[in-house]
Every structure is written in C-alpha cells, then in structure tokens.
Structure 1
Amino acid sequence: MSNVNFKPVLGILAVAVLSACTMIPKYEDPKVAVAETFKYDTAQNGIQAASLGWQDYFADPRLHSLIDIALKRNTDLRTAVLNAEIYRKQYMIARNDLLPSINGTANATRQRSAADLSATGRSSVSEAYTVGLGVAAYELDLFGRVRSNSQAALQGYFNSASTRDAAHLTLVATVAKAYFNERYAEESMALAQRVLKTRESTYKLSQLRHKAGVISAVDLRQQEALIESAKADYENAVKNREQARNALAKLINQPIPDNLPQGLPLSKQFKIAKLPAGLSSEVLLNRPDVRAAEFALKQANANIGAARAAFFPTISLTGSLGSGSTELGNLFTGPNRTWSFGPTITLPIFNWGTNKANLDVAKLRKESQIVAYEAAVQSAFQDVSNALVAREQLDKSYAALNKQSRAYSEARRLIGLRYKHGVSSALDLLDAERSSYAADTQVLAIQLTRLENMADLYKALGGGLKRLSSDKENAK
C-alpha cells in the first residue's frame, strides 16, 4: 500500500477540472433605442472628454489644489474606494475556491493506559507521531457552479470599481462647481463695491445740486435707497461666498488651506471652450455609471449559471498523504507512509422546488438588471443632450447679455455726463444706473451657469477616467 501511484488519479482530476464548463447563459448587450448622434453637438473637432484629464480641462491652479485634496480626503470617494477593494478581495476568495485547499498537519501524542484497561494487565505508555498534507472537501467543478460564482464575484468587483470611478468623476465636477460659486460670490462682491462707489460719488454731486435747488429731496432719497441696496447686495454676496467655502470645506474634508495658489477670474476657468460629444455609443462606453450597470447585468447573468448548476450532483474530494510512527526517529523512514481518499457525491432529490425557485429568482434579477441598464443608458443620453443644448443656448445668451451690459454701461456713462451738465434729470441717471447694474449682475449670473454647465458636460461625457484596464489587471 505504500507504493500506491497517485499520478493516474491526479491526471483524472486535472482533466476533470480543466474540462469543467459553466452553465452561464451567453451574454448579449441589451438593445437600447437612442439616437446615434447628439443634436446640439456643434463642436465636431477636438479632444474627447474621455481622453482629457481634469488637469488639462480646468485651468485654475487654485481649483487644481482643491480637487487634489478632495480626491485624497473626501469621505464619499474614500468609501467608494474601500468598497471596491472589498469586492476585489471577495472575488479573490471566490476564485481560490477553484483550487484545492491543501493544509499541512503535524501531531504528536503521548499517553498512559491503565492496567485494568490493558490486555496484558499492565499499564503502558505509548507515543504516536504523524505528519501529512490534506485536502478537505475540494469540489470538482464539473457543472460550473464554482466558476459561475467566481465570475459573478468578478463582475461584482468591476461594478464596484465603476461605481468608484463615477464617485471620482462626480467629486471633480462638484468641487469645481462649488469653487465657481465662491469665485462668483467674490466677483459679485467686487461689482457691488464698484457700484457703491459710483453711487456714493453721484450722491455727493446730487447733494450739491439739492442745496442749489436743482433737484428735489425725493431725488436725493432715491439715490440714498440705491446706495443701501448696493450695500445689501454686497453683504448677500459675502454670505454666498462663505456658504460656498463651507461647501468646499466639506468636500475636501478639512478647512480650506491658506497656502493655496491665487485663483483666476471666472472668464479664465477652462483651457478648452467646447468639448465634442461624438457618437452616443462612444459616450455611453465612457460613462462609469453605464459601465457599472453593464457589470451588474453580467453579474446577474453569471448567477443564473450557478443556479442552474444547483440541479446537478456535487462531487467533493477529501484526501491526505503523510507518514506516521510510534517513534519520532522512524517518522520518515520505513513503511510508515499513510494516505486516505474519500470522494463525496451529493445528489439533489427533494429540493427541486427550491432550486427551481432560485433559478427563477436569478432570471428575474437579470431582467431587473436589464431594465436598470436601459434606464442608465437613457439617463446618460439625457444628461449629455441636456448639457449640450444648455451650452448652445447659454453661449448665445451670454454673448447677448455681454452686448447688453456694454450698451447699458455706455448709456450710464453718457447720462452721467449729461447729468453733471444739467441736461439729464436725476430720474434718468437713476434708471441708467439700475439698468447697468442689473445687466452686469445678469452677465455674472449667466457666466456662473455656463461654467457649471461645462463642468456638468465634462462629467456627462465620461471625463477622462481610464481605470477599466487596470482594474482587470488587479483582478488577475
């Protein structure tokens, strides 16, 4: 028995394992009805968002520093990163089930037998020493249950990695928008201060004219009201700035550092004015949320394979190979080799109903994931389409409001000169100042909206995240 040849047995096992198949249904991409191109994709040429890192898109060095800090410290992103790592480890556990678990054992015992229990009527002391390698309940994956579970775990990891990428991209856009709101508030403060100085200068002239009897007290009170309105606008802008900073502090999970670079004005926040969208199929491949939905669907598809395999027998092997002796010196010498081999076959007999229900549940979950995938694609297409049409209209509105602002500013200047020379009335001047200030405020507001739209479009187009290949490498 000590000369048993295990090579044929191992060969049979190797063939059985290598020839194991799975019962996972063939995966097919769901057909989703979306247009091939986007209607308002006017920027046909240029670098695609998926190939453009955020450092090459956003221009402000202060914003760069804030995004860097957020990517390291933001709690939501760190949670997504940890979840992805958890799923990767779970996949490694499931993958290792494909291989037998071999454990080394060593045992030494020394015992005394009582005289009354001994066949010789004498007490005795005995010793026993054993060492060996053992395989415990290794399942031969003949019907692909273990492989199906491993594939489901792999797709679950890819899903979590894509969810992490979506959180990464969302964080970049969110930090940018919060920063734009801070810059907008600061420029609103500067505008309110400029208007306040202009109105105070006009008010001093009006006081002189009122003393000379040229204008009435009503005109003077109206100018005082405009001065107080500018002060209120300034304080409101201060409130908005502080709230934007509070939002940034939450996003970076710490107070805003004092040593950040100087920020750029709103008009110089981007290095690229217009991103091309390209074909909808390309955009959808670049969207991490769409990829996450696709991996969730593949995971559900793999679970069907595991549910199908449950209808078939399970064959497990338990075995060991070692050596034993009553003397430690003879443990590895002589005819002291030991071995054991014990296959176990489990046949499903009275659990057909349970297995059938589990298979039906797996199929229903796949159908649910198909619906979720279709919803993710339609939502992504809507996001891009909405961002593109908003960009088109905002650009036109911004150009028109800029011209309006310049026209009102020039009118205010001319009416101010006429007012100094007594040609225009105080009412004309008040109307001109109100119109000019309102136009400048509108320009700032639409400038903020345009910047937010550009950040949203970068996110909607997939924003330069290329982690899929590296995730596949990590999963090997």
Structure 2
Amino acid sequence: MIRMLKPVALATTLVTLLSACSLVPTYQRPASPVPQQWSTGDASAVPAEAAPTLINWEAYFPDQRLQSLIRASLANNRDLRVAVLNIEQTRAQYQIQRASLFPQVGVSLSGTRGTATSAPYPVYSSVSGGLSLSAFEIDLFGRVRALTDAAAATLLATEEARKTTQISLIASVASTWYALWADRWQLALAEQTLQARASSLKLLQLKYDNGVLNELELRSGQSLVEAARVSRAQADRQYRQDLNALALLVGQQVDPATLPPAPSLGDRPLDDVDAIPRLGGDSLWPALAELPVGLPSQVLLARPDITQAEQQLIAANANIGAARAAMFPSISLTGNAGRVSNSLSGLFDDGRRSWGVTGSLLAPIFDMGRTRAGVEVAQASRDIAVAQYEKALQSAFREVSDALVSRDTYGEQAQAQQAQADAETDRLRLSALRYRSGVASQLDLLDAQRSLFAAQQSLIQAQLARQQANITLFKTLGGGWDQNTATTVPASAAGGASAAGSAS
C-alpha cells in the first residue's frame, strides 16, 4: 500500500513546491476624504486611547434596568441573530473556497465486465480500486489564492456587519427606554393637570350657577379640561406604542421591573401655591457617562461599518487578481494509485499495482473578449468599492458632526426650557396669589396654568432629545461593541484577508 501511495505523494509534493505568482494589485487604503478633526472641540485635548469606541455599553448606561434589557436584546433580537447566522454561512463559504487550495484525495472502486472487441470475443472482467486525486488546479498565477483571499475579506466584512447591528441595537434599546421614561412623565403630567383642571371646573361651574362667574370664564375652563384630556390620550398612546417597540427590540415581553419608574407629581390643585410641581434636574433623568469632545476623525476607522466597507474593498481588489489569472493557462492534475484484478475477490490477493497521472492545460485563445471584459468588470467593481468606502467615511463624519451639534444645542435648549418652566412655575404661583387677593381674574389664572403645562411638556421633550443626542453620539463614534461577545473569525481567514492587501 505504501508503494501505491508514492505516485500520489509525488504529485502532491510537486504541487506544493510550485510557488504561485499573484496578479492581485497591491492594496493601499484610500486617503481619507474628510477633515482631520471635527469643528467642535480640541482634538489635542483627548489622547487616542480615550476614544469612545473603547467604552463598553455597560459603563455608558449605568442603570441596571436598562442593562438587563440590553442583555436580553443581545440574546433574543432576531436581527442580531440573522447577522450571526450570516457569519456562519459566510464562514462555510470561505472554507469551501479555501479547500480549492489543496488536493482532494478520495477512495475509488470500479469494475467492468463485457465482451472483447476481437474474435473470439471472450467475456472479460476488470476491477480496480485505490486512491484517486480529482482534478486539481495548479495555482501558477494565483487565481485560486486570490479567490480565497476575497472570500476571507468577505467573511471579515460580515463580522463587521454583525458589530454594526449590535451597536445599533444597543442604541435603539436605550433610546426607546428613555422615550418610555419621557412618556411616563408626560402621562403623569397630563393626568395631574386633568385632575386639577377638572377640580377647578367644578368650582367654576358652582360660581357660574350662582351668578358670580360669566360664561366666557366657564367655557375657558371647560376648554382647558378637554385639552388636558387630549394630552392624556396622546401620552397614553405614545407610551403603549413605545412599549411595543421595546418588546420587538428585546425579542420578548418586557418585564415591568425593567421599565423606567413611574413619576409622581402629587394630586393637589395647581392653584395651591405650595403644590405647584417643578420639573427638571437630576430627578428627571439618570446620568450618562461623559464622552470626550475633542476627538480626531481617525476614530472613524474603528467604526465597524467603515471596517466592513474596507474589507469589501479588499475583496474587490483580490477579485481583480483572479480575473487577471483567468487570462493565463490553467493546469490541472488527475491521478490514481491502487490495484487492478480480473475479479473483485482477487483484487487485494493477486491484483497488480497500478497508477496513473494525467495533466491537462487549458489556455484561452479566442473568446470574443470575454476574459478581458472580466478583468474590466473586476476593476470597475474595485473602483465602486473605493467610492463606497469614501462615501462611508463621509457619511460617518457627518453623522458624528451632526451628533456633536445636537448634543451641544439640545443641551442649551434643555437649559433654556428649564429656565422657562421655572419662570412659568413662578408666574403661576404669583397668579394664584393675585387671584386669591382679588387682583387677577380667573382667566389670568387659567392662562398661567395653560402656559405652565405647555412649558413642562416642552421641557420633557427637550430633556429626551438631549439624552437621545448623547446616545446617538455614542453610536456614531462606534461605542457599544464588546469584544467579549465577538464572534471568533478563524486565524486563516484573517491572514487571507491581509494577504489580499499585500500581494504584488
């Protein structure tokens, strides 16, 4: 048996010693088409190691209820599950392509029985069995290697797509969770306002029935009650819809214990000077971790979607080498080694050793420009990938710039809205005092109540926008990726992808 393996081993060794020359263009990362830093902040103030891409989502979102929801979404979200399965599918495709680099050896057994072609036409039998080497392409011009490198880069791009999906999922869960918090504040505020206005309307109706109040003031009070009822219905609808959205993100029913706490504003009438609620401050929202302001735009290169675009560019670059190699001759080997006998029973007893090696060469001569067109297609695909990579960088730069602007301006807006709400609170307090003293009319008091309610609603929305702007900045800077939950990529795939960029 050892002697039978010698021909196959010789052919395999010969193939291994043949050094393939690569026709893949030398890969160079395109120059960044964006400024070196954002207009907001001082890039020199923050060292590179402080980049927010290294901030774990658990450090950025310290609330335990939100953390439990994020963990549940990472375990159950269907979009993330599809992204992980896409990695497994691409990994299997890479293994299929990588197997083409090595000879495929199998066991074969064949038999023939028939009549001879010459007189006296005796019946004969022939049985052969042993090892066989299927048609194996000697990769002289690097076509198979280039295709393998392209598959490896595609695998790495799929892994980066999974990271992008995870970061977006974390940001969506956090944003929806804070939206639910705002919904609960709006609902509590609307409920308290409705109760207070309904109580005031009873008093107005009593005064009207006794001829103390005119109909205009009564109808104004009724209008405020119905407006509060509308606001309560709107807040309740928004809360339920956001709860459904959170359940979809988490992939299961949301545990009530993980929801934001329901605020309480009291149940005393708004014309009670000592009971006027003041919204704002730390009681409204939990704090988030601070992100550095001054960051060089090079941190964009750590974003998974940017890395994904670059890996796709590397794959397109490797495909050029495969298309170029198709213009040169292709050499394939087929071999076998075993025994042959006149009967199956005597195959391993008195059978004769046999072996054979067959080589074939196929070179394109005239194909109406098909091969050359294949190279042009590959080059055009590479140019498209370059443009897509540059566009991804530009889009990422704008996203971060917009997020920085939103964080700054929404912060200022929230402060101004807080000041307005405080001023309206004081105005209502003074209006209530003037109304009790008989200086101000009922309409003045109702107008102050209406203005305070609108200012508090706007304050809640401004605070929510500020929180979501911080979450968006965290997302656009590539934060939220946890290496402990990464899907492992084979070392051979990573090596193949890097080889695609260094071949000459």
TM-score, length-scaled by structure 1: 0.89
How do 1:47-446 residues align onto structure 2 when only pairs under 5 Å count? 48-107=51-110, 119=120, 129-207=127-205, 209-210=207-208, 214-254=212-252, 256-258=253-255, 260-264=257-261, 267-276=284-293, 278-282=295-299, 284-326=300-342, 331-332=347-348, 336-351=352-367, 353-446=369-462
User: Following the alignment from structure 2 to structure 1, what is the Cα–Cα distance between the partners of residues 5 and 221?
Assistant: 109
> Residues 351 and 383 of structure 1: is their aligned pair in 2 closer, same or farther, counting only changes over 3 Å?
same
Unaligned runs of 5+ in 2: 263-282, 495-504
How do 1:12-31 residues align onto structure 2 when only pairs under 5 Å count? 12-16=14-18, 19-31=19-31
Name the structure 2 match of 1:470.
488
User: Following the alignment from structure 1 to structure 2, what is the Cα–Cα distance between the partners of residues 264 and 471?
Assistant: 41
Q: Does the 8 Å contact 1:290/1:376 carry over to 2?
A: yes
Q: Does the 8 Å contact 2:84/2:162 carry over to 1?
A: yes
> Residues 213 and 474 of structure 1: is their aligned pair in 2 closer, same or farther, counting only changes over 3 Å?
farther
Deviation at 1:381, TM superposition (A): 0.1
2:101 alignment partner, SS class: coil
Q: Does the 8 Å contact 1:159/1:292 carry over to 2?
A: yes
Q: Does the 8 Å contact 1:60/1:268 carry over to 2?
A: no
What is the letter of the counterpart of residue 191 of structure 1? L
Q: Does the 8 Å contact 1:41/1:388 carry over to 2?
A: no
User: Following the alignment from structure 1 to structure 2, what is the Cα–Cα distance between the partners of residues 474 and 463?
Assistant: 28
> Residues 31 and 402 of structure 1: is their aligned pair in 2 closer, same or farther, counting only changes over 3 Å?
same
Aligned length: 466
> Residues 106 and 239 of structure 1: is their aligned pair in 2 closer, same or farther, counting only changes over 3 Å?
same
2:23 alignment partner, SS class: coil
User: Following the alignment from structure 2 to structure 1, what is the Cα–Cα distance between the partners of residues 465 and 343?
Assistant: 86
Deviation at 1:248, TM superposition (A): 2.3
User: Following the alignment from structure 1 to structure 2, what is the Cα–Cα distance between the partners of residues 473 and 120?
Assistant: 61
Q: Does the 8 Å contact 1:61/1:262 carry over to 2?
A: no
Unaligned runs of 5+ in 1: none
Q: Does the 8 Å contact 1:49/1:276 carry over to 2?
A: no
> Residues 106 and 207 of structure 1: is their aligned pair in 2 closer, same or farther, counting only changes over 3 Å?
same
Deviation at 1:9, TM superposition (A): 4.7
User: Following the alignment from structure 2 to structure 1, what is the Cα–Cα distance between the partners of residues 442 and 330?
Assistant: 95
> Residues 187 and 238 of structure 1: is their aligned pair in 2 closer, same or farther, counting only changes over 3 Å?
same
> Residues 42 and 226 of structure 1: is their aligned pair in 2 closer, same or farther, counting only changes over 3 Å?
farther
Q: Does the 8 Å contact 1:419/1:425 carry over to 2?
A: yes
What is the letter of the counterpart of residue 100 of structure 1? P
User: Following the alignment from structure 2 to structure 1, what is the Cα–Cα distance between the partners of residues 442 and 129?
Assistant: 106
TM-score, length-scaled by structure 2: 0.84
2:377 alignment partner, SS class: helix
1:88 alignment partner, SS class: helix
Q: Does the 8 Å contact 2:177/2:259 carry over to 1?
A: no
Name the structure 1 match of 2:267.
none
User: Following the alignment from structure 1 to structure 2, what is the Cα–Cα distance between the partners of residues 210 and 450?
Assistant: 45
Which shows bigger deviation, 333-342 or 41-50? 41-50
What is the letter of the counterpart of residue 146 of structure 1? V
Name the structure 1 match of 2:35.
35
Whether 1:460 aligns to 2:448 is no
1:21 alignment partner, SS class: coil
1:268 alignment partner, SS class: coil
Question: Percentage identity across aligned positions?
Answer: 35
What is the letter of the counterpart of residue 471 of structure 1? V
> Residues 469 and 21 of structure 1: is their aligned pair in 2 closer, same or farther, counting only changes over 3 Å?
farther
Q: Does the 8 Å contact 2:427/2:448 carry over to 1?
A: yes
1:471 alignment partner, SS class: coil
1:324 alignment partner, SS class: strand
Deviation at 1:444, TM superposition (A): 0.5
Q: Does the 8 Å contact 1:59/1:268 carry over to 2?
A: no
1:316 alignment partner, SS class: strand
Q: Does the 8 Å contact 1:54/1:463 carry over to 2?
A: yes
User: Following the alignment from structure 1 to structure 2, what is the Cα–Cα distance between the partners of residues 301 and 239?
Assistant: 52
